[in-house]
Structure 1
Amino acid sequence: MKNLKSTLRPGVLSVFLLAGLLPLYAQAPQEPKQIVRSAMDAELSADLTDHSRWKYRDVQKDGIDTVSIVVETDHGAVKRLISRWGRPLSDSEARIEDARVQTFIHDPSQLAKQKRDGMQDGKNAEELLRMLPDAFTWKVQSEDEKNITLHFEPNSKFSPPDMQGRVLGQMAGVLVVDKGQNRIVTISGKLTEDVTIGWGLLGRLRQGGTFRVERREVAPGLWQIVETHVHIEGKALFFKNIGQQQDEIQTDFVQVPHGTTLEQAAEMSKALK
């Protein structure tokens, strides 16, 4: 799924896309669960029609505080580091980074791995999105002219199919839906209790861990994830990637022309605007 980065990143919910069913406000009143299901259907439908590619600025607060320029193409995405520790790369560091980018775009194995990872992330995110209506109990928390905000709690009758479903199913939080376009704007949650793996012998994710994913319309009818925040404490012997500490912000979206090559993307990534 192209823009369903797990916020769970996809780990946790990078969980959303593009769409266009009837606006919620134009329909008869719906039950909260049906509102969620309609938004889910809209997001899944959007993924089938959104073939846009983007250039954007990616900021990651991961202890190193990196800034990169990302340029997407039909053949893969080029990511060029431009800043680390709050300062631009030196000339020698920039040359090393350029050599890395050139190696990447001409290495079929690295490109294939990126594609496989992206497909797996998309699959995970789609599975999480499909769980949303049934994994929780839903109620309308508030509503204004633009958005409707729903509160969710774990559904005791939900049987998660896998580990990421178990983590998702122990969350409580809010989901914000854009009524005009039936798009998911925000989803945020907190672990309501510890999640144990193998009765706690293989790992444990701590109660209180949080995630938040923010999405925005970056062009008419086209939505992208603009913020991902994941703070889940825990230790897992065989699932080290479950516990996450991630703060990522994406800005300055510019649409990339169809047919852009990786070589062209590499050049485009040098320009900050």
Structure 2
Amino acid sequence: MRPHAMLCLVTLAGTLTFAAHAQPTPTPQTAHDLVRDVIFNELHDRERDSHWEYRSNAVTPSQNLVREQVETSQGPIFRVLERGGRTLDADQARQEEARLNEYVKSPGQIEHVQHEHEVDEERLAGIMKMLPKAFLFEYEGSATGDVVRIAFRPDPAFVPDGYEARVVHVLAGTLTVDQRLKRMIDMDGHLIERVDFGFGILGHVEKGGTFEIHRVQVSAERWKTSLVAVHIQGKVLLFKNVSKDQQETRSDFRPVPHDISLQQAKEMLDHQADASLPVEARLAAGGR
């Protein structure tokens, strides 16, 4: 190769190298825009036709239950396996089997559970839609990497509509987000002020209450809630379910057919009873 040609190639290579290094670093997405995209994905995920079986441990001041639960198009169905930290005995297993048998044959009960499930889903979807409108967001630490933390606080310009929105709007805390997949991993918040309804006549919710929601990836496209912890103190006369003190953890997620019937779901619960209950309780529950 001629010296002149070699000099041109060296010069060109140097120019390209400099240009590559001189390219500006992409500007990270704003925290608000990232949250908006995350909420969109979470809401879109809820619209998909997908059902799962999982183990649930629900704890309230009055009970501690371990349940196996199966989602169906007619709502969830569950079997209690433990109460108060103890596996069901034969009498309790027999009562649980009778409850399940009655439930799958009762259209009224099924319709009621399905309605309550749909109401809960709509309420949660409404809260999620409200988040990008009701809060101000900023990154905690670096805005780069797969997992980022985003602090949120009430936007004073937002005017909440309704009792539930007023409670949500006084939350502040942190969102943990998978920035690459744009999915929520954790939402941890606390009430930064007391909320009075009807100047306190209709009730109130105390400052300092806490909540946490944790999400886990269970398939290439699906995420499920693995923890819901709510500890809010107060009294609201018109809405008895506003004041809560409960925690539920969910684990061992397994997909089930999207067209699974309640009877088929109960049979899956029966197999879990066979695997989890002592022999005497298993026989009382109709096990083999």
Please report the TM-score for the alignment, with normalisation by the length of structure 2.
0.82
Instruction: Looking at secondary structure, tell me which structure has more helix per residue.
Output: 2
Deviations 1:48-86 (A, max 9, x none): 3x2211111110111321101101122332111111011
Alignment of 1:182-197 (within 5 A): 182-197=182-197
**Rg bigger for which structure?**
2
Alignment-derived partner of residue 260 in structure 2: 260
Kindly state the Cα deviation for residue 28 of structure 1 after the two structures are TM-superposed: 4.8
Provide the rounded CA distance (Å) in 2 between the counterparts of 1:205 and 1:29.
38
Instruction: Looking at secondary structure, tell me which structure has more strand per residue.
Output: 1
| 3-state secondary structure, aligned to 2:218 | strand
Please report the TM-score for the alignment, with normalisation by the length of structure 1.
0.86
| 3-state secondary structure, aligned to 1:204 | strand
Provide the rounded CA distance (Å) in 2 between the counterparts of 1:259 and 1:239.
35
Alignment-derived partner of residue 175 in structure 2: 175
| 3-state secondary structure, aligned to 1:66 | strand
Query: In 1, are the aligned partners of 2:75 and 2:117 still within 8 Å (CA)?
Result: no
User: Which structure 1 residue ranges, 5 or more long, are not aligned?
Assistant: 1-26
Alignment-derived partner of residue 100 in structure 2: 101
Alignment of 1:209-228 (within 5 A): 209-228=209-228
Kindly state the Cα deviation for residue 96 of structure 1 after the two structures are TM-superposed: 0.7
Alignment-derived partner of residue 118 in structure 1: 117
Alignment of 1:54-65 (within 5 A): 54-63=52-61, 64-65=63-64
Question: Percent same amino acid among aligned pairs?
Answer: 33
Alignment-derived partner of residue 89 in structure 1: 88
Provide the rounded CA distance (Å) in 1 between the counterparts of 2:259 and 2:131.
35
Provide the rounded CA distance (Å) in 2 between the counterparts of 1:241 and 1:56.
25
Alignment-derived partner of residue 243 in structure 2: 243
Alignment-derived partner of residue 21 in structure 2: none
Alignment-derived partner of residue 66 in structure 2: 67
Q: Quick check: 258-267 or 99-108, which moved more?
A: 258-267
- The number of aligned residues is 247
Deviations 1:169-209 (A, max 9, x none): 00000111111211111111100000111110111111000
Q: Which amino acid aligns with 1:160?
A: P
| 3-state secondary structure, aligned to 1:184 | strand
User: Which structure 2 residue ranges, 5 or more long, are not aligned?
Assistant: 1-25, 276-288
Residues 1:165 and 2:139 aligned together: no
Alignment-derived partner of residue 53 in structure 1: 51
Provide the rounded CA distance (Å) in 1 between the counterparts of 2:248 and 2:266.
22
Deviations 1:90-132 (A, max 9, x none): 1111111011011111111111111211221111111111110
Structure 1 runs (4+) greater than 6 angstroms displaced: none
Kindly state the Cα deviation for residue 258 of structure 1 after the two structures are TM-superposed: 3.0
